[in-house]
């Protein structure tokens, strides 16, 4: 990977899955919550593509395919549609477009949520990688509520800011490294990225 490749902006696709929000019954909260979190958490350049769609599996699958294959997103985040209800089909759509499953993300998301609500075990969130001939992206299913989105990404901290349970985003920058995406740096006050020492890149400001 060249320095030019590493300096590409991170392309993030944000997908809110909701029948009622997509039809205008109420205002979507997932997309603004995600945009706000990434604005505070990322210290490297990034751009986003957003989609607001109903709980329809074909529509979800097409949105994921378009964001990876056409918009060339490196990371795609969905919110909503991960419970046991009949119309909750986001995990099925994600698995349908995947080339690899990443089960550790789903396990950790449920572990984080269980610190707050026992119904976290009802969540079916998954994470997958979609690969094409020359591109790959990580696709993650997040909860639909803004508070839960923040907790899932950041993890749990005590009153002094000490990390008690790691959020899932700590592992995402290195995952993006491994699938050929741009190098991601974070605002460590929000979320500290973890990489093996051999994978840590010297910041330009430190040179």
82 within domain boundaries: yes
pLDDT of 203 reads 63
Query: Is pLDDT of 121 > 50?
Result: yes
Structurally, how many domains does the chain consist of? 1
Reported as a pLDDT band with limits 50, 70 and 90, residue 206 is low
Beta strands in the chain (DSSP E): 10-17, 46-53, 75-79, 100-101, 127-131, 136-142, 155-157, 163-166
Instruction: Determine the Cα–Cα distance for residues 181 and 189; give it in Å rounded to an integer.
Output: 23
pLDDT tier, 204 (very low <50, low <70, confident <90, very high otherwise): low
At 57-83, the pLDDT tens digits run: 999 999 999 999 999 999 999 999 999
CATH of the domain at 18: 3.40.980.10
116-120, 182-186, 200-204: least confidently modelled range: 200-204
Whether 100 and 129 have beta carbons less than 8 Å apart is answered as: yes
| Percent of the chain topping pLDDT 70 | 94
User: For residue 119, what are the domain limits?
Assistant: 3-201
Helices (H) and strands (E) in the chain, counts: 8, 8
CB distance 90 to 191 below 8 Å = no
Mean pLDDT of 173-178: 98
Q: Please indicate, yes or no, if residue 178 is contained in any of the structural domains.
A: yes
- For residue 43, being part of any structural domain is answered with yes
Contact between 118 and 135 (Cβ < 8 Å): no
63 domain residue, yes or no: yes
CA 193 – CA 143 distance, rounded (Å): 21
Record the pTM. 0.92
- Is residue 207 a part of any domain in this protein? no
């Amino acid at each position: 990977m060249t320095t030019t490749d590493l300096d590409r902006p991170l392309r993030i696709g944000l997908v809110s899955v909701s029948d009622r929000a997509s039809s205008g019954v109420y205002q979507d909260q997932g997309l603004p919550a995600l945009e706000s979190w990434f604005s505070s958490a990322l210290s490297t350049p990034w751009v986003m593509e957003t989609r607001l769609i109903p709980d329809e599996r074909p529509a979800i699958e097409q949105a994921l395919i378009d964001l990876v294959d056409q918009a060339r997103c490196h990371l795609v985040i969905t919110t909503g549609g991960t419970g046991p209800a009949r119309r909750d089909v986001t995990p099925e759509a994600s698995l349908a477009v995947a080339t690899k499953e990443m089960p550790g993300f789903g396990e950790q998301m449920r572990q984080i949520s269980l610190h707050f609500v026992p119904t976290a075990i009802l969540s079916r969130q998954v994470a997958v990688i979609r690969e094409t001939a020359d591109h790959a992206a990580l696709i993650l299913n997040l909860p639909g509520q803004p508070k839960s989105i923040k907790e899932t990404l950041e993890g749990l901290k005590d009153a002094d800011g000490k990390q008690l349970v790691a959020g899932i985003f700590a592992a995402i920058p290195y995952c993006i490294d491994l699938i050929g995406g741009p190098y991601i740096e974070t605002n460590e006050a929000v979320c500290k990225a973890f990489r093996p020492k051999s994978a840590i890149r010297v910041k330009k400001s430190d040179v």
